[in-house]
Amino acid sequence: MSETTHHRICPLCEACCGLEIKVRDQKVISIRGHDADVLSGGYICPKAVALKDLQEDPDRLRTPRIKRNGVHVEASWEEAFAEIEKRLPAVLATQGRNAVGVVVGNPSAHKIGLLTYLGKLARTLGSKNVFSASTLDQMPKQLASGLMFGHWLSTALPDITRTDLLLVIGANPMVSNGSMWTVPDFRGKAKALQARGGQLIVIDPRRTETAAIADAHHFIRPGADVFLLAAMVHTLFAESLVTLGRVAPWVNGVQDVQQAVTPFTPEAVSARCGVAAATIRALARQIAATPRAAVYARIGTCTQTYGTLASWLVDVLNTLTDHLDLEGGMLFAKAAAFASNTVGKPGIGKGVSTGRHHARVSGAPEVYGELPITCLAEEIDTPGEGQIRALITVATNPVLSSPNGPRLAQALESLDFMVSLDIYLNETTRHADVILPGPSPLEDLHYDVAFPQLSWRNHVRYSPAVLPRPEGQPEEWQTLLKLAAIIQGLGAQADANTLDDTLFTEDAQRLLGPPTQAVMAATQGLRGPLRALEVALRSGPYGDQFGLNPGGLTLQKVMDASPGGGIDLGELQPRIPEMLRTPSGKVELAPPLLLQDLERTKQDIRGLTPDLVIIGRRDVCSNNSWMHNLPTLAKGPFRCTVLVHPDDAARHGLSDGALATLHNGPRRVQAQVQLCTDMMPGVVSLPHGWGHNLPGAQLHVAAERPGANLNALLDDQLRDPLSGNAVLSGVAIRLERA
């Protein structure tokens, strides 16, 4: 058979690079960057190449599994759904909706079928017990952005191609390729910034790969960003450096912020955050004095007890120095589809609220419809009314990715029923009674629902499937609808397509009013996420408005342009006030919830710093917990080592290569020491997502070098009280020779 060339957006991380994939006889023969791609221009990282390994991995599930007498056996789709129908409704009938929990993981964010249909499953189920990886990650950033700008995904993004100063706090885009910021080829863009005379500055407890190319790097005590940032804001006021510029008429609360940061003088916070007072002042002055500057912070500033406060203060800093919504500063993307800040009345909205319900055991507030994932284990293993007795997991591996994995594993084993949508039999899905695999990424079509809302440049792209879906393999949205049908009592025989038609008509009536002839005609013959995409694109900010705006975008237009690299929609542009969705129609610089929480930090300004704390790290050849089974990425030096500064190693009698035991109360893990002068003294680093030595998983390559599970050491009781985000960084540990 002849060779064919396909263009596919990479679904593995937020950079969303365009790939060029060559196929012969239904086998992938090469994967490279797509040079014409309007977003990524040919850039890729090593993970993309591993899509071939993923396609061919004998451990990847191609048929459902049912657990019989403790062993997962292959089953037909009919058998799998019949088993679910036999067992799931029974839990609902006897113990109610909240007895069934849902957990959603990271890969869902990269799958239009999951992202557009998970809400339908959750609505049908009606359980309060919905959890996701967001509370291991970016929930603080989303809450802060929501409170300030009125919507959870209205995130201010560095205008990297026009800025002259980029301050990066708690992020390592050289390795992670960016997060809450879709920025393929960060290195190229950073180098260009430096070439035009600009500066890159990094604040991180480790001299990271990003710090290595930066013009300056400052260590910070893990978890103490709020103190550094509050003191920088304090400096702006103290030295009369505050300017709001163009956005001034749309900013509320400047004086409240000024008052709130009064105690945070650089001298007061310096010991707590480990940054010299002079450095704090110099950083604040430099940002204020640079007309085109941007402050970007990510997961290091989120996975801590003050995560929402730190995320908020970053945008306070951007706003008070006249860098918000400004070219070369921080801008908001305008996505072609699905963006809430392009829907409804421009400039005003309902804003966001939290705490519409609370977790049964801890009382933690709901945020964005979710409860903290660190509450999951206790919601399963604590008896009482509303206890979770059945669980649906979707593309998630919380036994490795969530703190206190061993407790969660035990809890999962005690459930009456568990069903997992997942492509592997791994540390989490080994507990499932039924596993329902999705198609591989290359067998699935792709459109990014979330990331164009976070992209460095406006654009639109679509990818059809590269390889045919195997006979009988449903699309993941169909699997979700089948689950919804079973929950609704329609039975395992219900037809997903018919259900989809009914739901679409209902949604269209609810969202668009009585569906006009034009909408129904335009979506004829479409189903599932593609139908939702057609409606979103055509009614979106660049859309053809179903004929009212001839020449505007349609799905067909986007499909036609995609082999050529997609459609470039231009550089980000200022969008305030039009993008705001706060009830006031203003940027809320001083949300009461945040000012109130700042009181907590005031008590902690002179808090003691533990002798030794742990942070995580990422590696270019690893992706959270699930790509260690792919030979291309698994080869090479072992990556799950604990980085220790030589001074700390000497104090603990450890040498390079020694096996160390890391203790946190009763929890412990063992890892090999790697001496590293790039670590801040008093801080050690171990990557997360490892620990592939648990019985019952089927990951042959990963099991050869299982590594230590960082999350077996961390605490499931430590959270940011506002966002519910887990504390994964700056946790005190003890280190000794094993």
Give the DSSP letter string of 657-676: T-EEEEEETTEEEEEEEEE-
Three state DSSP letters for 205-227: CECCHHHHHCCEEECCCCCCHHH
Half-sphere exposure (Cβ direction) of 622: Cα atoms closer than 13 Å:
21
The 203-222 contact track toward ligand MGD, x by CB under 6 A, reads xxxx-x-----------x-x
10 binds ligand SF4 (CB under 6 A): yes
Distance CA 655, CA 644 (A): 10
* Closest C-alpha among 656, 647, 716 to residue 682: 647
The 122-151 contact track toward ligand MGD, x by CB under 6 A, reads -----------x--xx--------------
Residue 543 carries which side chain, given as an amino acid letter?
G
Binding segment for Mo ion (CB under 5 A), chosen from 130-138, 184-192, 217-225, 410-418, is 130-138
The 27-66 contact track toward ligand MGD, x by CB under 6 A, reads ----------------------------------------
Distance CA 226, CA 602 (A): 10
CB closer to ligand SF4 out of 48 and 496: 48
Q: At closest approach, how far in Å is the CB of 134 from Mo ion?
A: 8
Q: At closest approach, how far in Å is the CB of 451 from Mo ion?
A: 13
Interface with ligand MGD: number of residues (CB under 6 A): 62
301 binds ligand MGD (CB under 6 A): yes
Q: Which of 179, 342, 374, 723 binds ligand MGD (CB under 6 A)?
A: 179
Q: Interface residues for ligand SF4 in 46-65 (CB under 6 A)? A: 47-48
398 binds ligand MGD (CB under 6 A): yes
Work out what residue 172 binds among ligand MGD, Mo ion, ligand SF4, none; the CB cut-off runs from 5 to 8 Å by kind: ligand MGD
Bridge partner residues of 8 (DSSP): 19
Work out what residue 625 binds among ligand SF4, Mo ion, ligand MGD, none; the CB cut-off runs from 5 to 8 Å by kind: ligand MGD
Q: Interface residues for ligand SF4 in 136-195 (CB under 6 A)? A: 177, 184
Distance CA 14, CA 455 (A): 9
17 binds ligand SF4 (CB under 6 A): yes
* Closest C-alpha among 146, 93, 92, 97 to residue 126: 97
Distance CA 140, CA 726 (A): 10
707 binds ligand MGD (CB under 6 A): no
> Quick one: CA dihedral 596, 601, 605, 607, positive or negative?
positive
Phi/psi of residue 506, each to 5°?
A: -60, -50
223 binds ligand SF4 (CB under 6 A): no
Residue 681 carries which side chain, given as an amino acid letter?
P
Q: At closest approach, how far in Å is the CB of 465 from ligand SF4?
A: 17
Give the DSSP letter string of 441-473: GGGS-B--SSGGGGBSEEEE--B--SSPPPTT-
Q: At closest approach, how far in Å is the CB of 653 from ligand MGD?
A: 25
Work out what residue 48 binds among ligand SF4, ligand MGD, Mo ion, none; the CB cut-off runs from 5 to 8 Å by kind: ligand SF4
Distance CA 557, CA 301 (A): 40
Counting beta carbons within 10 angstroms of the beta carbon of residue 708, is it exposed (0 to 12), middle (13 to 18) or buried (19 or more)? buried
Going by the DSSP 8-state scheme, the letter that residue 342 receives in this structure is: G
Work out what residue 184 binds among ligand SF4, Mo ion, ligand MGD, none; the CB cut-off runs from 5 to 8 Å by kind: ligand SF4
Distance CA 127, CA 390 (A): 11
CB closer to Mo ion out of 37 and 720: 720
Are 221 and 273 contacting, i.e. CB atoms less than 8 angstroms apart?
yes
Spell out the residues 6+ positions from residue 36 whose beta carbon is closer than 8 angstroms to its own.
18, 564, 565
CB closer to ligand MGD out of 139 and 576: 139
CB closer to ligand MGD out of 436 and 579: 436
Q: Which of 730, 731, 733, 735 binds ligand MGD (CB under 6 A)?
A: 730
CB closer to ligand SF4 out of 507 and 619: 619
CB closer to ligand SF4 out of 14 and 475: 14
Q: Interface residues for ligand MGD in 674-703 (CB under 6 A)? A: 688-689
* Closest C-alpha among 624, 679, 621, 575 to residue 339: 575
13 binds ligand MGD (CB under 6 A): yes
Work out what residue 16 binds among ligand MGD, Mo ion, ligand SF4, none; the CB cut-off runs from 5 to 8 Å by kind: ligand SF4
Binding segment for Mo ion (CB under 5 A), chosen from 35-43, 131-139, 153-161, 644-652, is 131-139
Distance CA 148, CA 248 (A): 14
Q: At closest approach, how far in Å is the CB of 133 from ligand SF4?
A: 17
137 binds Mo ion (CB under 5 A): yes
Q: Which of 135, 145, 401, 463 binds ligand MGD (CB under 6 A)?
A: 401
Token digits of residue 543: 């859309």
* Closest C-alpha among 404, 357, 356, 396 to residue 380: 404
Tell me the residue length of the chain: 738
* Closest C-alpha among 60, 601, 111, 64 to residue 307: 601
State how beta strands 659-664 and 734-737 pair. Answer: antiparallel
In this structure, the dihedral spanned by the alpha carbons of residues 193, 197, 201 and 206, taken in order and rounded to 10 degrees, is 80
CB closer to ligand SF4 out of 42 and 406: 42
13 binds ligand SF4 (CB under 6 A): yes
Work out what residue 44 binds among ligand SF4, ligand MGD, Mo ion, none; the CB cut-off runs from 5 to 8 Å by kind: ligand SF4
Q: Which of 299, 364, 553, 697 binds ligand MGD (CB under 6 A)?
A: 299
The 441-480 contact track toward ligand MGD, x by CB under 6 A, reads ----------------------------------------
Q: At closest approach, how far in Å is the CB of 322 from ligand MGD?
A: 24
Q: At closest approach, how far in Å is the CB of 272 from ligand MGD?
A: 12
Please give the C-alpha separations between residue 465 and each of 13, 29, 400, 641, in angstroms, as whole numbers.
Answer: 18, 16, 30, 38
CB closer to ligand SF4 out of 49 and 216: 49
Going by the DSSP 8-state scheme, the letter that residue 97 receives in this structure is: G
Work out what residue 17 binds among ligand MGD, ligand SF4, Mo ion, none; the CB cut-off runs from 5 to 8 Å by kind: ligand SF4
177 binds ligand MGD (CB under 6 A): yes
Are 416 and 389 contacting, i.e. CB atoms less than 8 angstroms apart?
yes
State how beta strands 27-33 and 18-24 pair. Answer: antiparallel
Q: At closest approach, how far in Å is the CB of 123 from ligand SF4?
A: 30
Binding segment for Mo ion (CB under 5 A), chosen from 85-93, 132-140, 353-361, 558-566, is 132-140
Counting beta carbons within 10 angstroms of the beta carbon of residue 482, is it exposed (0 to 12), middle (13 to 18) or buried (19 or more)? buried
Give the DSSP letter string of 627-643: -TT-HHHH-SS---PEE
Q: Which of 48, 236, 411, 421 binds ligand MGD (CB under 6 A)?
A: 421
Half-sphere exposure (Cβ direction) of 447: Cα atoms closer than 13 Å:
27
44 binds ligand SF4 (CB under 6 A): yes
State the Cα angle at 584 between 580 and 590, rounded to 5°.
Answer: 90
Token digits of residue 179: 């997060």
List residues near ligand MGD by CB under 6 A: 13, 105-107, 111, 133, 136-137, 169-173, 175-177, 179, 203-206, 208, 220, 222-223, 225, 298-301, 304, 394-398, 401, 421-424, 426, 438, 615-620, 622-626, 688-689, 710-711, 714, 728-730
Residues that bind ligand SF4 (CB under 6 A): 10, 12-13, 15-17, 44-45, 47-48, 177, 184
